[in-house]
């Protein structure tokens, strides 16, 4: 599957978040749900960061790991879109 649209990026990112937070249901994970409050910790965040880089073929740096970027699904999707536009 080719990941092209924001909807594709959102769906794929949601699936990745659900992989690193297996106790969360897709119903609980809304675009503006606070994933830190849903259980994202530093270990999960590093795992998620790795999955985002592999899945979307992007490079993320320490500067990208911010509260704004990792607070919710919207922040993650915005980060992925920004990095994809910079690399291609």
Q: What are the structural domain ranges in the chain? A: 6-87
Residue 75, SS3 per DSSP: helix
pLDDT in tens, 29-86: 999 999 999 999 989 999 999 999 999 999 999 899 899 999 999 999 999 999 999 9
Judge whether residue 26 has pLDDT over 90: yes
Query: Rounded to two decimals, what is the model's pTM?
Result: 0.92
DSSP per residue, 6-61: HHHHHHHHHHHHHHH-TTS-TTT--TT--TTTTT--HHHHHHHHHHHHHHHT----
pLDDT of residue 87: 77
Q: Does domain 6-87 have CATH number 3.40.50.620?
A: no
């Amino acid at each position: 599957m080719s990941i092209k649209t924001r909807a594709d990026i959102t769906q794929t990112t949601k699936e990745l978040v659900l992989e690193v937070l297996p106790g969360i249901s897709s119903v609980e994970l809304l675009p503006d749900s606070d994933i830190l409050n849903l259980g994202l910790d530093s270990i999960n965040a590093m795992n998620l960061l790795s999955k985002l880089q592999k899945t979307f073929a992007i490079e993320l740096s320490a500067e990208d790991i911010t509260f704004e970027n990792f607070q919710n699904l919207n922040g993650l999707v915005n980060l992925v879109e920004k990095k994809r536009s910079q690399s291609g």
